[in-house]
């Protein structure tokens, strides 16, 4: 290798280390849930979603991190004419992401988050699901270290595929059922060190 190329590589490595060293590490997560008792269909359902996360705020505009989400949903239908049906689903999802601050107003900020969600084969699910997405995130800073965070998945764009050959493109800008507290809206926080 030429000495000038080696110097350039060393300078790039040192700049990268310096840039990463100034990044702020954050930890946090969100908790979502839902309950529905529908007398029209005699269905009772509940769901919970827990998403711890960790990441790096590189500067005021860029952040990257990852989540591991655990979701559990239970649904039971009881009718006098039909046999009782029940479903109980547990899912674990891995979600690396990057986010860019699009708009700021005082302590509020709207971020554009893009990432990948991978739900591997699990008990009762015989395929792996992959999803790429772009969705807005609303944050509110409560001081130097704590930020409230709300994922607004009901206004996102998703590309989803499975290892068994399924593929879907989905987008949403709201609608009649725009807010579902389990999947579409989650409220959480992050703590920056």
Tens-digit pLDDT profile for residues 107-150: 999 999 999 999 888 776 778 888 899 999 999 999 888 999 88
Residue 12, SS3 per DSSP: helix
Over residues 24-53, mean pLDDT: 84
**CB count in 10 Å sphere of residue 164:** 9
Q: Which of 48, 54, 55, 53 is nearest to 31 (CA)?
A: 48
Give residue 186's pLDDT band: very low, low, confident or very high (50, 70, 90): low
Q: Are 151 and 135 in contact (CB under 8 A)?
A: yes
Question: What is the per-residue pLDDT for 46?
Answer: 87
Is residue 21 predicted with pLDDT exceeding 50? yes
What phi and psi, each to the nearest 5 degrees, are found at residue 3? -60, -35
Q: Are 116 and 93 in contact (CB under 8 A)?
A: no
Compute the distance between CA of residue 67 and CA of residue 110 in angstroms, rounded to an integer.
Answer: 19
| Distance (Å) of CA 3 to CA 7, 8, 38 | 6, 9, 73
Compute the distance between CA of residue 8 and CA of residue 184 in angstroms, rounded to an integer.
Answer: 46
Q: Are 182 and 48 in contact (CB under 8 A)?
A: yes
């Amino acid at each position: 290798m030429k000495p000038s190329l080696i110097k350039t590589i060393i300078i790039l490595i040192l700049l990268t280390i310096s840039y990463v060293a100034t990044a702020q590490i954050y930890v946090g997560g969100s908790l979502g849930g839902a309950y529905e008792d529908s007398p029209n269909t005699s269905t009772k359902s509940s769901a919970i979603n827990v998403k711890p996360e960790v990441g790096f705020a590189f500067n005021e505009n860029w952040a990257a991190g990852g989540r591991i989400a655990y979701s559990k949903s239970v649904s039971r239908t009881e009718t006098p004419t039909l046999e009782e049906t029940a479903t109980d689903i547990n899912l674990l999802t891995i979600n690396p992401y990057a986010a860019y601050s699009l708009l700021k107003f005082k302590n509020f900020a709207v971020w554009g988050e893009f990432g990948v969600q991978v739900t591997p084969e699990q008990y009762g699910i015989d395929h792996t699901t992959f999803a790429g997405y772009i969705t807005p995130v609303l944050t509110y800073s409560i001081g130097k270290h704590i930020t409230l965070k709300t994922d607004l998945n009901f206004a996102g764009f998703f590309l989803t595929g499975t290892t068994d050959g399924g593929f879907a493109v989905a987008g949403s800008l709201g609608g009649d059922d725009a807010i579902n507290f389990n999947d579409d809206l989650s409220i959480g926080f992050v703590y920056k060190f």
